Amino acid sequence: MIKPNEEANSRAQVFETLMENPGAIVSSSLLTQRLSSSRQAVFKAVCSLKDEGVPIESIPQKGYRLESIDELQKLSPTMIEFFLRDNPLFNRCIYMRETDSTQKVIKKLAMQEAEAGIVALTERQSEGRGRRGRSWQSPDEKNLMFSMLLRPTLKPGEVQLLNLAAGLAVKETLGELCGIPSELKWPNDILCRGKKLCGILSEAAGEPDRIYYAVTGIGINVNMGPPDIPEEIAGVATSVLIEGGRRFARWKLLVDFLARFAALMELLSSRGGAVKLLSLYRRGCDTIGREIRVVQDEEIFNGRATGITPEGALVVHTSDGEKIFAAADVHHLRMAEGVNGG
């Protein structure tokens, strides 16, 4: 495991102390005691937290006070890690203002034998992409773009289950934290009223019989308003802001999602857990029961989605018989007559 450096520890201790005294002035002397360090070190840690966007008020001759973080739009890795203390899987957050790709960042850490549970966040990525290499762009400080390092006990053919688990966790967060109903579109999209709000991409490395590591990347449209959405996708994209009618603190969505995803990963690793996970997914999947168009390797198949296999693949009834797709682009056409799409 890559250990946090001394400065990161100082930031964490200062933030924790301020959180223990919400709205109150915390003296520099108390902080120096907690850090077993100098006032200069405390001052440096406070400045670093402010650089991360943490709203700390400096009060001359008295100390520091943490202002409300409820509506904070900045993504502070120190603050996020504080709220991940009870998360059984995720414990470290890396924030980069800009990077080529959070997927690449996590893959590099995985190859350095870093432990599972690292989350890489960014505001902008030059090589961000979705399925089939599509680019993923985002306006600054409006959305969530992150990748997670996982070391699941899955076989390579079961990687799709990570997409399904992540989709379920996003759906739960949207519904319970934001009050926004959503639908799961196999294999990796979350829709609201038929428009895309979130995309997921899972990749893995390993041998034929086991996975060394997996990287799951997620992009959630959070606080984009209609003017932020490019004209060419305005008819098919939406955001938490548009659906919920107000801005949401991105860090809250992230922390809530990571808690739910960790619980689903724990379920997935348990005996019979995959069966339970798939049952949950099938109930929320809007693809099942629909007439769909499937695009795979430049071939097009039309048919009705009838189910999902134990490995997370999609079962489609076509004019040529039943076909199973482990990964493909799916386009919803309409509900099949007499079939419940839930």
pLDDT digits (tens, 9 = 90+) for 49-104: 999 999 999 999 999 999 999 999 999 999 999 999 999 999 999 999 999 999 99
- Interhelix angle for 273-284 vs 160-176, to 10°? 60
> Which pLDDT belongs to residue 2?
39
Exposed / middle / buried, residue 102 (Cβ in 10 Å: 0-12, 13-18, 19+): buried
Q: Is the pLDDT of residue 302 over 90?
A: yes
The amino acid at residue 149 is L
Q: Is the pLDDT of residue 130 over 90?
A: no
pLDDT band at 3 (very low <50, low <70, confident <90, very high): very low
- Binding residues, as ranges, are 125, 129-131, 196
Listed in sequence order, the residues at least 6 apart from 327 whose beta carbon sits closer than 8 Å to its beta carbon are: 131, 160, 187, 296
Q: Which long-range contacts (CB under 8 A, 24 or more apart) does 167-173 make?
A: 167/198, 167/200, 167/281, 168/260, 168/264, 168/277, 168/280, 168/281, 168/284, 169/257, 169/260, 169/261, 169/264, 170/198, 170/200, 170/218, 170/220, 170/257, 171/284, 172/260, 173/253, 173/256, 173/257, 173/260
Q: What is the pLDDT of residues 185-243, one digit of tens each?
A: 999 999 999 999 999 999 999 998 899 999 999 999 999 999 999 888 889 999 999 99
% of the chain with per-residue pLDDT over 90: 86
Using DSSP's 3-state secondary structure scheme, residue 44 falls into helix
Q: What is the pLDDT of residues 266-288, one digit of tens each?
A: 999 999 999 999 999 999 999 99
**Residue 208 neighbours by CB distance under 10 Å:** 7
Query: Do the beta carbons of residue 287 and residue 275 sit within 8 Å?
Result: no
**Residue 24 neighbours by CB distance under 10 Å:** 11
Global pTM?
A: 0.92
**Mode of pairing for the β-strands spanning 56-59 and 63-66:** antiparallel
Q: Is the pLDDT of residue 148 over 60?
A: yes
Residue 247's alpha-carbon distances to 72, 150, 178, 194, 296, in angstroms, are: 10, 30, 10, 21, 37
- pLDDT averaged over every residue in the chain: 92
Block residue for tokens 């959503």: 182
- Binding residues for biotin, as ranges, are 125, 129-131, 196
> Which pLDDT belongs to residue 232?
87
Phi, psi of 163 (to 5 degrees): -60, -45
Query: Do the beta carbons of residue 169 and residue 221 sit within 8 Å?
Result: no
